[in-house]
Amino acid sequence: MVAAPRCSTTVSVAGSSLYVEGERFEVRGVAYSPLLSFERRFEAPPDLFTPERRAVWHDDLQLLAGLGANTLRLYNWDPALHGGAAGLAFLDSAAAAGLRVMLPISNYFLEHREAARAIVQRIARHPAILLWAVSNEPDAGKPAGSAEAKAAFARVASLTRVVREAEDALGTWHPITVPLTCETRHLAALAAAGAPWGMGGFDGNIDGGTISSHVMQHDAGALWDVDGFNCYWGFSKPDPADFFYARHAASTAAARAASAASPLHAASRARGRAGGGAGGNLSLGTSRPLLLTEWGSDSYDNIAGASSEAAQPLPGTLPRPPMWSHPPPPAPADPPPP
């Protein structure tokens, strides 16, 4: 058992930093989503954060805390499974282990906003809560600037406002993040999605629902408080252009010059932010706290000598196929010089 103080609900944001109990808080953690079994790993991750599944997660919490983690990002929290006195046992155990939680308001709630409100009302005062992760990669697979992308971001904006309104009613506050794919250009699209509420061009209705006048008074910058990015790539692919400054800019001056010329900079400057965009890195693209909400790279195919998602073991292929157990033959040596 890892001895640790209970967590606190006092969370704040100032500039590019996150604070807990007035102290700067550096997130060290994992995206945590236990599965029913290895064989069923390709199913949508279920909500296993219930007392009935304590055997699944209890030891994990102790081990993760013992490794130095202080934060867990969860997935697929079903409010119907967390009623009653024991319904928040997972959060109680996380807090007792000194672990704070990024609680998901998943993509399901883009169409079920009142259920999301119920999550906030039930959990906002729990000491384990660090922030809300509203939706996940709403930009994925949608061409930038397309009608599909704009509609997706509009629904996300609506959901973030439901979360903020629900906390306002309780008198609590926690940061909101919207995990995006690994490109800063999506921040401008997210900001634009909130513009109608802050610029007086919204009639108070969206998807048949009504947004209160209190919420309508927020400006676009109130939609989210922490920038979150899910960053993946393969060994043989270039690093994400916005991620590693050193590989994509000759100098800090060059990176900032490129950022200043980007559309994101103009949108940010109009709202009093530092700005940033293509040519810089994620930290140059925002003045908010920055989180890697997911991180990883593709599996490596040691026969082809390149990364490959298809090389990952599939159902029925264990033990691993030969490509994983036999290295490729060595390349022939160059002939000696004449």
Structure tokens at 297: 């790279």
Q: Helical H runs in 101-236?
A: 113-123, 147-170, 185-198, 213-216
- pLDDT digit string (tens) for 216-264? 333 443 479 999 988 876 554 555 555 544 333 333 444 444 444 443 3
Give pLDDT, residue 212: 32
Residue 65 to residues 29, 50, 71, Cα–Cα distance (Å): 9, 19, 9
The alpha-helical segments, DSSP class H, found in the chain are 54-66, 89-96, 113-123, 147-170, 185-198, 213-216, 245-248, 252-260, 263-270
| CA distances for 28 relative to 68, 69, 188, angstroms | 7, 5, 27
C-alpha 29/C-alpha 88 separation (Å) is: 20
CATH topology assigned to domain 11-197+223-234+283-297: TIM Barrel (3.20.20)
Q: Which of 22, 264, 226, 14 is nearest to 134 (CA)?
A: 226
Say which residue the tokens 């704009």 belong to: 150
At 300 the three-state DSSP class reads: strand
**pLDDT over 60 at 77, yes or no:** yes
Mean pLDDT computed over 85-112: 94
Torsion from C-alpha of 322, 33, 154, 140, nearest 10 degrees = -10
Query: In this predicted model, what pLDDT tens digit does every residue of 19-55 receive, in sequence order?
Result: 999 999 999 999 998 888 877 877 777 899 999 999 9
- Whose tokens are 């959990």? That residue is 123
Q: What is the rounded average pLDDT of the residues 67-76?
A: 95
Q: What order of strands is seen across the sheet that includes strand 11-14? A: 11-14, 17-20, 23-24
Measured between alpha carbons, how far is 208 from 200 in angstroms, rounded to an integer?
Answer: 19
H/E run at residue 134: strand 129-134
Name the nearest CA neighbour of 170 among 113, 104, 123, 219.
123
pTM of the model: 0.72
Could you identify the residue written with the tokens 């109608």?
196
pLDDT in tens, 293-334: 998 766 666 666 666 656 555 444 444 444 443 444 455 566
**Class of residue 4 by CB neighbours under 10 A (exposed 0-12, middle 13-18, buried 19+):** middle
Whether omega before 319 lies within 30 degrees of 0, making that bond cis, reads yes
